[in-house]
A and B are shown apart, each in its own frame.
Chain A
Amino acid sequence: MSALSELGKLKGQGSKSEGRDTKAALVFLGPWLVGLVAITLGPMLISLYLSFTDYNLLQEPTFVGLDNFVRMFEDARLLNSLRVTFIYVLVGVPLQLAVALLIAMVLDRGIRGLPFYRSVFYLPSLLGGSVAVAILWKQIFGTTGLVNQFLALIGIEGPGWISDPNTALSTIILLHIWTFGSPMIIFLAGLRQIPHMYYEAAQVDGASKVSQFFRITLPLLSPIIFFNLVLQIVGAFQSFTQAFIVSGGTGGPSDSTMFFTLYLYQKGFGQFDMGYASAMAWVLLLIIGAFTAINFYASKFWVFYDD
């Protein structure tokens, strides 16, 4: 809001200086604008065009109309990849946010050495999407990895967490939950914003810790939860690295970790079906758009703004 009001003030200052300011703004925005057009907008438009073509990367694209989109409905592997992605998002994101909130509340109670713990808990967020950690994950959850060695100590023979189609996706969801650091930092900031007097008043009235959480913390934190939810859902839909590395790029075993993005990649670069892959990218955009719209609409009913 403040940026807009600043602009309003500037407008009042006569047209001459306004023109100069606009020019100056354009100069400073220039590098970013070039990037936006050349690296984001341009390729997006091209991919929109390609989504209506048959394009094998090596020969010129030929226009096929809605063919690619129609083919998607008959593609059982694509439908499976949607299923896998939805499970990943709908299970992974809420769990991750719950863990993030829990840890944030523990840290908010004013432990000594908070900056240290904050950094430690934030670390997985920085590393989680990285190739190195995905490789580490593959080792830890291997048939003879750390987890199974530990289970063997207490006499349990663990499954091949990553190489068994029944458990592979759960392992990747776990990796996602582990990267709770960035929503945690945001929660922590949000918790700090809640005025202490509410809790004091509640204590005077004899409210329990639990009801303080549900009646004070959650409502006042709801804008932050909403913000985290939107951000994490958008991010989770686009997850790629973990599944790519953990499955060795195959989405296996038995397509159990075949994310929508991974299938898109395989179609485009593995099977030279770039038209289809482009169409998939636009479908993903629509799905994420729809989810975000639903999120914003639903937020009217549960997000509480204090101001």
Chain B
Amino acid sequence: MKTQPTRRKLLQWSATAAASALLLTGCGAGANPAAEETGPVTIRFSWWGGDARQKATQKVIDAFNAENPNITVVGEYGDWNGYWDKLATQVAANDAPDIIQMDEKYVREYGDRGALLDLKKLNLDTSSIEGDTLKSGEVDGKLVGLVTGVATYCIIANPAVLEKAGVAMPDDSTWSWDDYKKIGQQVSQSGAGATGVGVGYSDQDLYIWARQQGDRLYDESGKVVIKPETLVSFWKNIQDLSKSGAAAKPSVIMENATASLNQTAIAKNQMGFSGSFNTQLTAYSAASGQPLKLLRLPGESQAKEPGAYYKASMFWSVSSRTKHQKAAEKFLNYLTNSQAAGDVMLTERGIPANTKIREAIGPKLSATDKAAIDFTDSIADAVRPAPPITPAGGSTILDILSRYTSDILFERTTPEKAAQPFIDELSSSLRK
């Protein structure tokens, strides 16, 4: 019976091992926060974005870590879609990153639920950020997002396609939606093998359209107030662009909408005009292989109110459960106010909201970065205040708009029939 003691021991060992494993994890969860005031700390920093942003951000992190031996910033990143799924899970699991890159469509979602720290409690230097821009990150008087930069929705034009099609660059200070359609038709029919214009149905496109009609999507209290007529005209315009041949046929429109930036028709030099943010000019130009051009939105000069506005491109938020407020404060100050960080990030996260940094990075900018900034300045006289912040639950608007627009383009419903159900569905997805 030699085996018996061995087995018993085996059991005892494994029991001990299991018990200690449980104890160890227990210890980990209840780590003592007092030790962190002086010793070295690690903070987690997460963002979404492409390759260029990842490289630039990592450079900034490395520089910060080198300057601050007591703080280690660890980056986590992903693409837009996966980012929000991951963040939701992390926050639910009480495992949120300390510093979170936040979008306008989600800032209320998280801010309302107390997941984000009031940044006014931190000692942040926001003196070089304009008041209105800074306020865009406020929810009920609490600053839950520190704006990183500004972007403006506009039209990107592809000069190479226009030249091939023999169509002159339009005068964007006067062009109407009707001009947009006609020029699009000219390009499509020119035999240049390109589509005239893109069709946009993101939240931005709807915002702009509504503003031009003197309407708006949400009111200040976060209620959906858009009139059904506004939606009907929005969709009719899209329908008209597609049917007239100015834009592509429905299946191509749907396909282009889910394509990555490099795979879009305008980036592949197969389209004349497309809606986009001015800060994406550099990325689109790089993909297309030649400098593209920024134009004002169509219909601005005929509209009741100009649609364009300065949008906070994104925010820095801090998890309300962070144990390292001091370190987060230091890193945010570095991201916002240090020229070293600005020199690396340039316009990657929008035209810097910090006006001093915006000046300082001037010499470092590429021609397309400069063009993006010049565009921002050039429309200063024609912008109106930004629409109220997206209410909690409003991030679903992208999905809802895409579904209704596709139903209309494929003639499964009509703009008239879709308007009220759209309003109802969007309203019910908002949180009370």
Main secondary structure of the interface of B (DSSP, over half): helix
- Chain B 237-272 near chain A by CB (<8 Å), digits 1 or 0: 000000000000111111100100000000000000
Q: Is residue A209 contacting chain B, with contact meaning CB distance below 8 A?
A: no
Say whether A143 contacts B429, CB under 8 Å. no
Q: Is residue B407 contacting chain A, with contact meaning CB distance below 8 A?
A: yes
Residues of A within 8 A of B254 (CB): 160, 163-164, 252-253
- Chain B 109-126 near chain A by CB (<8 Å), digits 1 or 0: 110011100000000000
Say whether A266 contacts B399, CB under 8 Å. yes
Given contacts A23-B11, A30-B14, A164-B250, contact A58 B91 (CB under 8 A): yes
- Chain A 113-150 near chain B by CB (<8 Å), digits 1 or 0: 00000000000000000000000000000110000000
Say whether B89 contacts A269, CB under 8 Å. yes
Say whether A252 contacts B406, CB under 8 Å. yes
Residues of A within 8 A of B253 (CB): 163
Interface size on A, residues (CB 8 A): 33
| Shortest CB distance A251–B (Å) | 9
Given contacts A160-B252, A164-B251, contact A250 B91 (CB under 8 A): no
Say whether A254 contacts B7, CB under 8 Å. no
| Shortest CB distance B134–A (Å) | 25
Q: Is residue A20 contacting chain B, with contact meaning CB distance below 8 A?
A: yes
| Shortest CB distance B234–A (Å) | 18
Given contacts A20-B4, A249-B81, contact A271 B406 (CB under 8 A): no
Q: Is residue B200 contacting chain A, with contact meaning CB distance below 8 A?
A: no
A248–B91 CA distance with the chains assembled, in angstroms: 24
Residues of B within 8 A of A162 (CB): 255
| Shortest CB distance B224–A (Å) | 16
- Please, which residue of chain B has its CB at the minimum distance from the CB of A266? B399
Say whether A27 contacts B10, CB under 8 Å. yes
| Shortest CB distance A186–B (Å) | 35
Q: Which of B114, B249, B254, B393 has the most CB of A within 10 A?
A: B254
Q: Is residue A59 contacting chain B, with contact meaning CB distance below 8 A?
A: yes
Residues of A within 8 A of B110 (CB): 58
| Shortest CB distance A79–B (Å) | 15
Say whether B113 contacts A56, CB under 8 Å. yes
Say whether A24 contacts B7, CB under 8 Å. yes
Residues of A within 8 A of B255 (CB): 142-143, 160, 162-163
Residues of A within 8 A of B429 (CB): 271
Q: Is residue B227 contacting chain A, with contact meaning CB distance below 8 A?
A: no
Residues of A within 8 A of B258 (CB): 247-248, 250
- Chain B 128-159 near chain A by CB (<8 Å), digits 1 or 0: 00000000000000000000000000000000
Say whether A252 contacts B393, CB under 8 Å. no
Say whether A57 contacts B14, CB under 8 Å. no
Say whether B252 contacts A163, CB under 8 Å. yes
Given contacts A27-B14, A143-B252, A271-B393, contact A58 B406 (CB under 8 A): no
Question: Contact partner of B406 among A34, A57, A253, A274, CB < 8 A?
Answer: A253
Residues of B within 8 A of A67 (CB): none
- Please, which residue of chain B has its CB at the minimum distance from the CB of A23? B11
Which B residues between 1 and 42 are near A, CB-CB below 8 angstroms?
4, 7, 10-11, 14, 18
Say whether B410 contacts A58, CB under 8 Å. no
Residues of A within 8 A of B (CB): 20, 23-24, 27, 30, 34, 56-59, 142-143, 159-160, 162-166, 247-250, 252-255, 266, 269-272, 274
Q: Which 10 A-B pairs have the closest CB atoms?
A: A160-B251, A248-B258, A57-B92, A163-B254, A58-B113, A163-B255, A163-B251, A253-B406, A269-B85, A164-B251
Q: A57-B91, A270-B396 are in contact. List 10 more A-B contacts (CB 8 A).
A: A30-B18, A56-B431, A58-B91, A143-B252, A160-B250, A160-B251, A163-B251, A248-B258, A253-B410, A269-B84
Listed by A's residue number, 26 A-B pairs whose Cβ atoms lie within 8 Å are: A20-B7, A24-B7, A56-B113, A58-B88, A58-B91, A59-B113, A143-B255, A160-B251, A160-B255, A164-B410, A247-B258, A248-B258, A249-B81, A250-B258, A252-B403, A253-B410, A254-B406, A254-B407, A254-B410, A269-B85, A269-B88, A269-B89, A270-B85, A270-B396, A271-B393, A271-B396
